[in-house]
Amino acid sequence: MADTDTPQEGSQLVDENDETPTDDDTPTGEPESTPDEAVAKQISDLRRENASWRTKLRQTEAELEKIRESAQSDQESALAQAREEARREAFQEALAEANSRILRAEVIAAASRKLADPEDAVRLLDLDSFHVDDNGEVDRAALAAAVDELVKAKPYLAGARDPDFGARPPAQPAGQSMDDLIRSAARRP
Protein backbone atom coordinates (compact mmCIF):
# COMPACT_ATOMS: atom_id res chain seq x y z
CA MET A 1 0.00 0.00 0.00
CA ALA A 2 1.46 3.39 -0.97
CA ASP A 3 1.85 6.10 1.61
CA THR A 4 -0.40 9.06 0.92
CA ASP A 5 -0.91 12.42 2.45
CA THR A 6 -4.62 11.83 3.01
CA PRO A 7 -5.79 12.44 6.52
CA GLN A 8 -6.19 9.49 8.85
CA GLU A 9 -8.58 9.39 11.74
CA GLY A 10 -7.29 11.60 14.51
CA SER A 11 -4.72 13.34 12.32
CA GLN A 12 -4.64 16.99 11.39
CA LEU A 13 -3.57 18.63 8.23
CA VAL A 14 -2.01 22.02 8.26
CA ASP A 15 -3.22 24.34 5.59
CA GLU A 16 -0.33 26.04 3.85
CA ASN A 17 -2.35 29.29 3.47
CA ASP A 18 -2.84 29.64 7.21
CA GLU A 19 -0.90 32.29 8.87
CA THR A 20 2.17 31.18 10.63
CA PRO A 21 2.19 31.86 14.33
CA THR A 22 3.90 34.96 15.40
CA ASP A 23 5.99 35.56 18.44
CA ASP A 24 3.02 37.15 20.05
CA ASP A 25 0.86 34.04 19.55
CA THR A 26 3.36 31.64 21.09
CA PRO A 27 3.04 31.15 24.81
CA THR A 28 6.16 31.74 26.72
CA GLY A 29 8.38 28.83 27.68
CA GLU A 30 7.28 26.47 24.88
CA PRO A 31 9.56 25.73 21.98
CA GLU A 32 8.38 26.98 18.71
CA SER A 33 7.55 24.34 16.04
CA THR A 34 7.00 25.11 12.45
CA PRO A 35 4.16 23.62 10.40
CA ASP A 36 6.66 21.68 8.26
CA GLU A 37 8.01 19.95 11.34
CA ALA A 38 4.52 19.08 12.56
CA VAL A 39 3.58 17.67 9.14
CA ALA A 40 6.85 15.77 8.95
CA LYS A 41 6.17 14.32 12.41
CA GLN A 42 2.64 13.29 11.41
CA ILE A 43 3.91 11.70 8.21
CA SER A 44 6.61 9.88 10.16
CA ASP A 45 4.03 8.62 12.67
CA LEU A 46 1.72 7.50 9.90
CA ARG A 47 4.54 5.69 8.12
CA ARG A 48 5.47 3.86 11.33
CA GLU A 49 1.84 2.90 11.85
CA ASN A 50 1.55 1.81 8.22
CA ALA A 51 4.73 -0.27 8.53
CA SER A 52 3.40 -2.01 11.63
CA TRP A 53 0.13 -2.81 9.84
CA ARG A 54 2.05 -4.20 6.84
CA THR A 55 4.13 -6.35 9.19
CA LYS A 56 0.98 -7.66 10.88
CA LEU A 57 -0.55 -8.34 7.45
CA ARG A 58 2.50 -10.35 6.34
CA GLN A 59 2.49 -12.33 9.58
CA THR A 60 -1.22 -13.05 9.25
CA GLU A 61 -0.80 -14.09 5.60
CA ALA A 62 2.06 -16.42 6.59
CA GLU A 63 -0.06 -17.94 9.35
CA LEU A 64 -2.96 -18.35 6.93
CA GLU A 65 -0.69 -20.09 4.42
CA LYS A 66 0.56 -22.45 7.13
CA ILE A 67 -3.02 -23.23 8.10
CA ARG A 68 -3.94 -23.88 4.46
CA GLU A 69 -0.93 -26.15 3.97
CA SER A 70 -1.70 -27.96 7.21
CA ALA A 71 -5.34 -28.41 6.21
CA GLN A 72 -4.31 -29.66 2.79
CA SER A 73 -1.80 -32.12 4.22
CA ASP A 74 -4.40 -33.22 6.79
CA GLN A 75 -6.90 -33.82 3.99
CA GLU A 76 -4.31 -35.73 1.97
CA SER A 77 -3.31 -37.89 4.93
CA ALA A 78 -6.98 -38.52 5.79
CA LEU A 79 -7.64 -39.49 2.17
CA ALA A 80 -4.60 -41.78 2.11
CA GLN A 81 -5.69 -43.34 5.39
CA ALA A 82 -9.22 -43.88 4.07
CA ARG A 83 -7.84 -45.50 0.91
CA GLU A 84 -5.60 -47.80 2.95
CA GLU A 85 -8.50 -48.77 5.20
CA ALA A 86 -10.68 -49.50 2.15
CA ARG A 87 -7.90 -51.67 0.69
CA ARG A 88 -7.60 -53.58 3.96
CA GLU A 89 -11.36 -54.11 4.14
CA ALA A 90 -11.51 -55.29 0.52
CA PHE A 91 -8.60 -57.65 1.14
CA GLN A 92 -10.26 -59.06 4.27
CA GLU A 93 -13.54 -59.58 2.40
CA ALA A 94 -11.77 -61.31 -0.51
CA LEU A 95 -9.75 -63.47 1.90
CA ALA A 96 -12.88 -64.48 3.82
CA GLU A 97 -14.63 -65.41 0.57
CA ALA A 98 -11.65 -67.45 -0.63
CA ASN A 99 -11.32 -69.20 2.74
CA SER A 100 -15.03 -70.01 2.68
CA ARG A 101 -14.67 -71.62 -0.74
CA ILE A 102 -11.58 -73.57 0.31
CA LEU A 103 -13.33 -74.85 3.42
CA ARG A 104 -16.44 -75.82 1.47
CA ALA A 105 -14.36 -77.76 -1.06
CA GLU A 106 -12.44 -79.53 1.70
CA VAL A 107 -15.68 -80.55 3.48
CA ILE A 108 -17.12 -81.93 0.24
CA ALA A 109 -13.90 -83.84 -0.42
CA ALA A 110 -13.90 -85.29 3.11
CA ALA A 111 -17.57 -86.32 2.83
CA SER A 112 -17.47 -87.61 -0.74
CA ARG A 113 -16.85 -91.29 0.15
CA LYS A 114 -18.83 -91.28 3.38
CA LEU A 115 -22.13 -89.56 2.54
CA ALA A 116 -24.65 -90.15 -0.22
CA ASP A 117 -24.75 -86.40 -0.81
CA PRO A 118 -21.55 -84.58 0.26
CA GLU A 119 -23.43 -81.26 0.20
CA ASP A 120 -25.26 -82.49 3.32
CA ALA A 121 -21.99 -82.16 5.24
CA VAL A 122 -21.71 -78.52 4.12
CA ARG A 123 -25.24 -77.80 5.28
CA LEU A 124 -25.09 -79.71 8.57
CA LEU A 125 -21.57 -79.08 9.88
CA ASP A 126 -20.64 -75.86 11.65
CA LEU A 127 -18.05 -74.58 9.19
CA ASP A 128 -17.11 -71.71 11.51
CA SER A 129 -15.44 -74.22 13.82
CA PHE A 130 -12.81 -74.95 11.13
CA HIS A 131 -10.15 -72.49 10.11
CA VAL A 132 -8.09 -71.99 7.00
CA ASP A 133 -4.48 -71.12 7.83
CA ASP A 134 -2.32 -68.51 6.07
CA ASN A 135 -1.18 -71.13 3.54
CA GLY A 136 -4.76 -72.02 2.60
CA GLU A 137 -4.67 -75.36 4.41
CA VAL A 138 -7.43 -76.88 6.55
CA ASP A 139 -7.00 -79.51 9.25
CA ARG A 140 -8.17 -82.49 7.19
CA ALA A 141 -8.08 -84.87 10.16
CA ALA A 142 -10.50 -82.62 12.06
CA LEU A 143 -12.78 -82.46 9.00
CA ALA A 144 -12.74 -86.26 8.60
CA ALA A 145 -13.53 -86.67 12.29
CA ALA A 146 -16.42 -84.21 12.00
CA VAL A 147 -17.83 -86.09 8.99
CA ASP A 148 -17.49 -89.41 10.87
CA GLU A 149 -19.38 -87.90 13.84
CA LEU A 150 -22.07 -86.69 11.44
CA VAL A 151 -22.43 -90.21 9.99
CA LYS A 152 -22.67 -91.66 13.51
CA ALA A 153 -25.29 -89.09 14.53
CA LYS A 154 -27.28 -89.39 11.30
CA PRO A 155 -26.58 -92.79 9.73
CA TYR A 156 -29.29 -92.32 7.11
CA LEU A 157 -27.01 -89.76 5.41
CA ALA A 158 -24.41 -92.43 4.66
CA GLY A 159 -25.04 -94.05 1.34
CA ALA A 160 -23.86 -97.20 -0.27
CA ARG A 161 -21.62 -95.70 -2.80
CA ASP A 162 -19.76 -97.53 -5.47
CA PRO A 163 -16.14 -96.43 -5.19
CA ASP A 164 -15.68 -97.07 -8.92
CA PHE A 165 -18.64 -94.80 -9.70
CA GLY A 166 -20.55 -97.46 -11.64
CA ALA A 167 -17.72 -99.01 -13.66
CA ARG A 168 -18.29 -102.78 -14.08
CA PRO A 169 -15.74 -105.37 -15.02
CA PRO A 170 -16.56 -107.28 -18.16
CA ALA A 171 -18.70 -110.37 -17.59
CA GLN A 172 -16.85 -113.72 -17.78
CA PRO A 173 -18.46 -116.11 -20.19
CA ALA A 174 -19.83 -119.31 -18.67
CA GLY A 175 -18.90 -121.34 -21.68
CA GLN A 176 -17.72 -120.68 -25.16
CA SER A 177 -18.46 -117.32 -26.69
CA MET A 178 -20.09 -116.89 -30.05
CA ASP A 179 -16.71 -115.97 -31.53
CA ASP A 180 -15.22 -119.23 -30.29
CA LEU A 181 -18.10 -121.23 -31.80
CA ILE A 182 -17.69 -119.50 -35.17
CA ARG A 183 -13.96 -120.10 -35.18
CA SER A 184 -14.34 -123.77 -34.32
CA ALA A 185 -17.00 -124.16 -37.05
CA ALA A 186 -14.73 -122.50 -39.59
CA ARG A 187 -11.91 -124.95 -38.81
CA ARG A 188 -14.01 -128.01 -39.47
CA PRO A 189 -13.90 -129.32 -42.92
pLDDT of residue 109 exceeding 70: yes
Structure confidence by residue, pLDDT tens digits, 166-181: 666 666 656 777 888 8
pLDDT of residue 110 exceeding 60: yes
SS3 per residue for the chain = CCCCCCCCCCCCCCCCCCCCCCCCCCCCCCCCCCHHHHHHHHHHHHHHHHHHHHHHHHHHHHHHHHHHHHHHHHHHHHHHHHHHHHHHHHHHHHHHHHHHHHHHHHHHHHHCCCCCCCHHHHHHCCHHHCCECCCCCECHHHHHHHHHHHHHHCHHHCCCCCCCCCCCCCCCCCCCCHHHHHHHHHHCC
What pLDDT is recorded for position 158? 84
What pLDDT is recorded for position 29? 52
Better pLDDT: 17 or 92? 92
What pLDDT is recorded for position 180? 83
For the chain, the structural domain boundaries read 35-157
